[in-house]
Structure 1
């Protein structure tokens, strides 16, 4: 296990190296599952209610959420109503995890969280991740509520991403932990699971999806936040008796996605996700020779990636505000 005080630079590759403070969970007992789809286990209460799907390991090296789902399975948890499916998505990448090079196990061939559009899913292109997305698609298509559990490489406050649709926003405000709910339209590189049409299209009785970024990879705090978010969502869905939380008061909407256009993207300093830049036209980065400045006052930095390559999201800039709408429970 690597135990360093923070990110350092590996001289061989120039890539960051971080401390791995939590051990990867042993998922061998749940790889087979009981749904016919490896890694996915269905728990049916026998009572009417929603189908809630909790997904971890969309990225094979982000296992804080997998620890929490394994805890639920190990405990013999049964929901008070409806059906609950717990899933470990990118098992192929997860089996490659090595604490000496933890970044490498994010995926095998491509990002499983950039393939959730019809062109990719129904096309002829093949990869390890695309085949896995096609395999788990029936479970995604059956979900009324889906929570996608993630963590982050760089230092950042935890955040709930609700995508661009109103149902995701309503669900995020109801779940309430982490306390910041951010609406955005995703990445230039492809659609995430929360961008999948089932969760964003204006269909009656449509499903809702959230993505929780629970904190920094491989730290106990990410496990704690994942556990709190799962518990809050299960309580909201009527599957768990738990004390109610105070209503959420922080909501932000992304107004600009900064995508690196060169391989020379560099922030002017090591920003932390959650920082608020008070003044418009504040210089925050250079993309090659181009200056990157904030377009308006009081923008919050969402998950700045301090080392980013061409075509990837460097940071999202979001407008903070107080949400005054009332949100009812989803089905």
Structure 2
């Protein structure tokens, strides 16, 4: 396993206790209604308890009194039980309490008899996800990769994330080996529905830059929905605007097969390989290579173990737009 597991914790988890009692009847969930026609939109933070940037972004929106000028905006601290256990001395320990909350969004799990902290919270939040028209789910990554917007790849998602225009890379493709991500929950993943969910990976979990990206992605999302003005976006922006967005299609996902797996280099993500045959990793003595020219490595997971997805491969699907 790579030594890249150790990263400094540059962020401080904001105190969210003041947000526990909201106005929705659900703890840590607040809805702001402009009273004017417009989208029913939602922003999610901390579906994983150790990913601080989303909490920082929602806390920023709340404290800066950034409210929708039309439509309705709901903000949620999704997995507060995991988040409230975060310890900067052990930052990897509080991704979840019982299970990964971003794998449970299947009818079998949601309607089944299992009872975990994450499933109970998912069921509590389900009426919101069955209602909202647009969803931004804020996450972070295990490496110092540049930020990525992730979507399943439906055309409606491609259009909307290009309208958001931030961050610079959009990756289209399915999620994990087991379960479904929230953005793949059935109402969002239906081509016949106009409802859309997208997930932003803002950078390394505890890097200061990931909080800046989270704030700016939330702002650009609201601006794309015409829920805040260009002046509000400019006044609160923390990073430089993106000049062009690149869209890539995920073609392969690699799950580790043996207990003897390692990456060929200390990859951080979004490396590009000009020629097919470049060695990405070695698994049980077998070299895992790029299957085509101009291949992009997406989100290498240096903490993955046998059976878990270690990386994805993608190719450009469109020129910069």
When normalised by structure 1's length, the TM-score is: 0.90
Q: 1:138 aligns with which of 115, 122, 127?
A: 127
Q: Name whichever of 27-36 and 69-78 sits farther off.
A: 69-78
Report what 1:227 is aligned to.
Answer: 215
Does the Cα contact within 8 Å between 1:173 and 1:247 map onto a contact in 2? no
Report what 2:275 is aligned to.
Answer: 279
Report what 1:260 is aligned to.
Answer: 256
Q: Secondary structure at the match of 1:314?
A: strand
Q: 2:30 aligns with which of 28, 41, 50?
A: 41
Q: Secondary structure at the match of 1:135?
A: helix
> For 1:173 and 1:226, how far apart are their aligned partners in 2?
17
Report what 1:237 is aligned to.
Answer: 225
Are 1:196 and 2:185 matched, yes or no?
yes
Report what 1:304 is aligned to.
Answer: 300
Q: Secondary structure at the match of 2:198?
A: strand
Q: Secondary structure at the match of 2:94?
A: helix
Are 1:322 and 2:318 matched, yes or no?
yes
Are 1:85 and 2:74 matched, yes or no?
yes
Q: Describe how 1:109-128 pairs up with structure 2 within 5 A.
A: 109-128=98-117
Are 1:176 and 2:165 matched, yes or no?
yes
Q: Secondary structure at the match of 1:103?
A: coil
Instruction: Note closer, same or farther for the CA distance 1:8–1:246 as it changes in structure 2 (3 Å cut).
Output: closer
When normalised by structure 2's length, the TM-score is: 0.93
RMSD: 1.8
Q: Secondary structure at the match of 2:170?
A: strand
Query: Per-residue deviation at 1:93?
Result: 0.5
**Greater relative contact order, per chain length (Cα 8 Å cut-off, separation 6+):** 2
> Number of residues paired by the alignment?
312
Does the Cα contact within 8 Å between 1:58 and 1:113 map onto a contact in 2? yes
Does the Cα contact within 8 Å between 1:164 and 1:200 map onto a contact in 2? no
Query: Per-residue deviation at 1:255?
Result: 0.6
Does the Cα contact within 8 Å between 1:168 and 1:199 map onto a contact in 2? no
Uncovered stretches (5+) of structure 2, i.e. residues with no partner: 234-240
Does the Cα contact within 8 Å between 2:167 and 2:245 map onto a contact in 1? no
